[in-house]
Amino acid sequence: MSYVIEMNHITKQFGSFKANDDVTLQLEKGEIHALLGENGAGKSTLMSVLFGLYQPEQGEIKMNGKPVKINNPNDANELGIGMVHQHFKLVHNFTVLESIVLGRETTKIGILKMDEARKKVMELSKRYKFKIDPDAYISDITVGMQQRVEILKMLYCDNEILIFDEPTAVLIPQEISELMKVMKQLVAEGKSIIFITHKLNEIKEVANRCSVLRKGKYIGTVNVADISKEEMSEMMVGRKVNLVVNKKEATQGEPVLEVKNLTVKGKTAGKDAVKDVSFTVHKGEILCVAGIDGNGQSELIYGITGLMPIEKGQVILNGKDITKESIRQKCLDGLAHIPEDRHKDGLVLDYTLQNNLVLQTYYSDRFQKNGFLKFDEIREFAKGLIEKFDIRCGQGEDSVTRGMSGGNQQKAIIARELDRNPEIVIAVQPVRGLDVGAIEYIHKQLIAQRDAGKAVLLVSLELDEVMNLSDRIVVMYEGEIVADVNPQEITREELGLYMAGAKRGVKNEEN
């Protein structure tokens, strides 16, 4: 069998840590080959080796049977290898067109000639139904559109081997199905795709074969048609994973969080992102705010937690008006926040894990005396949380948080927030970009909070999560609540219609 790409016995080390330990991957021409593994299994590292970002300590790469040396991404591009990174590599103050031709510019006597580039980009955009505006600035376009720009960058370079690193982690369901169509179209045209993901239903939908990594080691390659999602998840995690959320009936108690007529301005001047929104979250329930990204959910949570100013309205926690309180006081009153952007709002990435775990409690008598931190006490506390919440990290409590995998960064935030025994947990897309093992774990933690009589306010774009985890769903569309429904009494299709604004329900005023 001849392969377009063979990565044979690749080992990549960082210090004494082996991110890839004797891994072999073989890509056939015209296939979508899924690369599956938990967070931190070594998938992105392996692809960074193929793309020339890292040099392996051992192993070789062959292309069409011949050994090749890839010293940097320029070498990869010359060989026809392109990559869409998990965190997009785009220049925010460039236009779409400038971003696509960056590094491949056509010049004449030192002057940029963009006419031919514009023509080629627009032809590609039309061919794949991308509908891009070449003159829009990257900073002004949606995440889904930014991803299309990344794909066009690869196609503009005429790459034949395309690496997609977690391409659906930040996309809404409609954008995901569009991306799947594009991937199928690309392989039909003879291109070959490596698709890094841990979403099993996406693998079943588009991939021909799937290779599994676990803790840096190669576990095996399977034909996707011959294996179930349960078997794939067991290969990935090394144990049986329950893909269905088990929870008992909710027993709704007293109101905990009351949001009354809340209005929050959007980031663009003059427009309200949240318009006169009211709802209540009770003890012992998980209330989910569902909706397509960009319909005011983020601003709603920023308003409640104090990250954005409120124009009008009230936020009441256990009968106390906390609308104008500081963020620290809101935390002390019993509000916990698992934020949407774990890097920007959840962690100080260059702090150690132990320092991140006391970010909201370091000023308490337990961790300081007369303004001096009790380092031994902080260390012991962090060790306890690392064990209790199964946070995996190279140097334990001294690990720098930036170097940890996404799943373990998320566990650190959840450990810090839940350890404070809050009255309400506000969890915004808590499992975005995480693997099935981490998702199962985090869902269990949120259900445990609910079963302990606490309130949980969940914001999610994932329909499966919305339907499985919530006891009640409110749907936001264009800054307003358009439905208040019971997940047991609604279909996914009906929920999708509410989310798309095609249907409006009667608001349940009692809740």
- Do 113 and 159 fall into the same domain? yes
- Do 142 and 267 fall into the same domain? no
- Do 12 and 79 fall into the same domain? yes
Give CA angle at 410 (407, 413), nearest 5°: 155
- Do 270 and 233 fall into the same domain? no
- Do 197 and 330 fall into the same domain? no
Say whether 76 sits in a helix, a strand or coil.
helix
Lowest mean pLDDT across 161-165, 221-225, 501-505: 501-505
- Do 128 and 26 fall into the same domain? yes
Most confident listed range (168-172, 208-212, 406-410, 506-510): 208-212
> What is the token pair recorded at 30?
């015209």
- What is the CATH number for 165? 3.40.50.300
Looking at the domain assignment, is residue 377 inside a domain? no
Annotate 302-334 with three-state secondary structure.
Answer: HHHHCCCCCCEEEEEECCEECCCCCHHHHHHCC
**DSSP letter for each residue of 327-353:** HHHHHHTTEEEE-S-IIIII--TTSBH
Banded model confidence at residue 277, pLDDT cuts 50, 70, 90: very high
Percent of the chain with pLDDT over 70: 95
- Do 207 and 290 fall into the same domain? no
- Do 200 and 325 fall into the same domain? no
Annotate 418-454 with three-state secondary structure.
Answer: HHCCCCEEEEECCCCCCCHHHHHHHHHHHHHHHHCCC
Give which of 421, 443, 412 is closest to 430, Cα–Cα: 443
Looking at the domain assignment, is residue 418 inside a domain? no
Contact present, 499 and 292 (Cβ < 8 Å): yes
Looking at the domain assignment, is residue 169 inside a domain? yes
- Do 38 and 179 fall into the same domain? yes
Looking at the domain assignment, is residue 340 inside a domain? no
Banded model confidence at residue 511, pLDDT cuts 50, 70, 90: very low
Banded model confidence at residue 508, pLDDT cuts 50, 70, 90: very low
What's the pLDDT score for residue 92? 84
Residue 80 belongs to domain spanning: 5-237
Looking at the domain assignment, is residue 281 inside a domain? yes
d(CA 95, CA 351): 34
Computed over every residue of the chain, the mean pLDDT equals: 88
d(CA 245, CA 130): 36
- Do 38 and 134 fall into the same domain? yes
Looking at the domain assignment, is residue 391 inside a domain? no
Most confident listed range (1-5, 98-102, 191-195, 386-390): 191-195
Give which of 157, 18, 8, 2 is closest to 68, Cα–Cα: 8
- Do 131 and 15 fall into the same domain? yes
d(CA 166, CA 426): 25
Q: Where does a domain end: 210, 237, 264? A: 237
Banded model confidence at residue 170, pLDDT cuts 50, 70, 90: low
- Which is it for the CA torsion 97, 98, 99, 103, positive or negative? positive
- Do 270 and 141 fall into the same domain? no
Which tens digits make up the pLDDT trace of 47-62?
A: 999 999 999 999 999 9
Count of domains for the chain: 2
Give CA angle at 78 (75, 83), nearest 5°: 75
Looking at the domain assignment, is residue 467 inside a domain? yes
Q: Where does a domain end: 237, 269, 295? A: 237
Instruction: Tell me the mean pLDDT in the region 445-449.
Output: 93
Which tens digits make up the pLDDT trace of 358-415?
A: 999 999 999 999 999 999 999 999 999 999 888 888 788 999 998 887 788 999 999 9
Q: Where does a domain end: 173, 205, 237? A: 237
Looking at the domain assignment, is residue 347 inside a domain? no
What's the pLDDT score for residue 1? 65
pTM summary value: 0.69
Q: Parallel, antiparallel, or unpaired for β 107-108 and 58-63?
A: unpaired
Compute and round to an integer the Cα radius of gyration of the chain.
24
d(CA 158, CA 182): 15
